[in-house]
Chains A and B, each alone.
Chain A
Amino acid sequence: MALLNVLVYPDARLSQISQPVMEFSEDLRKFMRDLEETFRSFPGCVGIAAPQVGRFERIILVDISEKPKHVNHGFLVLINPEITFYEGSSLGREGCLSVPDYTGKVERAKFITLKALNQKGEKLEFQMSGYEARAVQHEIDHLDGKLFLDRLVSRRNALSKRAEIPTKP
């Protein structure tokens, strides 16, 4: 087990697009353990994506169970995650391990349907809403080389119409 170094903006590697996981190897399992240990070392943090530690594969971890008032699915290991349905929108405040000392308002879909694989390569499917859906959308953005900074809503014009940036590259 080892703590991995988290890339910090403006590191250009954070805009790299991550590739799907093809092989569920021992090396992957070891990486997943390190990723989880790194994730757990930041109290209050509810998600991490593999590219944040410099591994450009489509892997995210999400766990909002420390925020008990939000409906959640517990600790999630999500490999090759894909959002197949979006509905509604909500404005919430986000921060990021890769962007210290800054938080801002971001609009996200309120409800999503998520497909992914677990560590054994088995298919998973979830319906998610609210805070957990926000966390998943934030982490999947990392896989597509995007940060919440790319989606910030102006403080003053929080209610005005604005262009959405596409979720898919």
Chain B
Amino acid sequence: MENWLMLTLVGKDRPGIVAKISHALFDMKGNLGEASMTRLGGNFTIMLMVCVPESKTVVQEKLQQICDELELFFHLDAVEAGLHQHIEPDVRISIHGADQAGIVARATDALNKAGLNILNLESDVGGSSESPVYIMHIEGVAGKGFDAVEQALQALSRENNVVARMTPIDTMVG
């Protein structure tokens, strides 16, 4: 059985974080799987699957040295994981409007009740400090059909004065 670890890492963004962390894992004969790495509010964040022959404790010790140097916080979890388990999204949702407290909670609650399983969510705050704008993109599987999602978005849009749209994803396989 493969020994997958999920690495969660965060710290003040600076050049070289990805290179140094991935090199350290490579030196431990780590095999990287799927990853999400992005800059959030001046921090750099990593969620990364890695399959390593070493024990979690050894990986922990080795990463600690590098992360101390780079002033990064990290966490390792042994996880049951595997590659080649992608689920195809069948709907894409975009929501944007003036930033407001609770918009993510209300949107995701409504979508959850409408049967949406979120596979990927990216959100940003743009605009200016005086007038921040919230933008969210979601891809997921509409478990109770598109109509349920559409109705949830219409209500969300009406009640919160945001633009909320869905587009079915019809993946073309050729």
Residues of A within 8 A of B (CB): 42, 44-49, 62, 67, 70, 92-97, 100-103, 131, 134-135, 138-139, 155-156, 158
Contact = CB atoms under 8 A, between A and B. Distances in A.
Nearest to A47: B174
Interface stretch (B11-19, B69-77, B164-172): B164-172
Nearest to B92: A93
Contact of B173 (A95, A156, A158): A95
Contacts of A138: 172, 174
A67 B171 contact: no
Interface string B30-58: 00000000100000000000000000000
Given A101-B84, A101-B86, A156-B38, A46 B173 contact: yes
A93 B89 CA distance: 10
B129 interface: no
B174 A45 contact: yes
Given A155-B122, A156-B122, A94 B174 contact: yes
Interface of B: 38, 84, 86, 88-89, 120, 122, 137, 169-174
A144 to B, nearest CB: 14
B1 to A, nearest CB: 21
Contacts of A92: 169-170, 172
Given A101-B84, A101-B86, A46 B172 contact: yes
B86 A155 contact: no
B173 A139 contact: no
Count chain A CB atoms within 10 A of each CB in B38, B84, B122, B173 and give the residue with the most.
B173
7 contacts: A46-B173, A93-B172, A95-B171, A96-B174, A135-B172, A138-B172, A156-B38
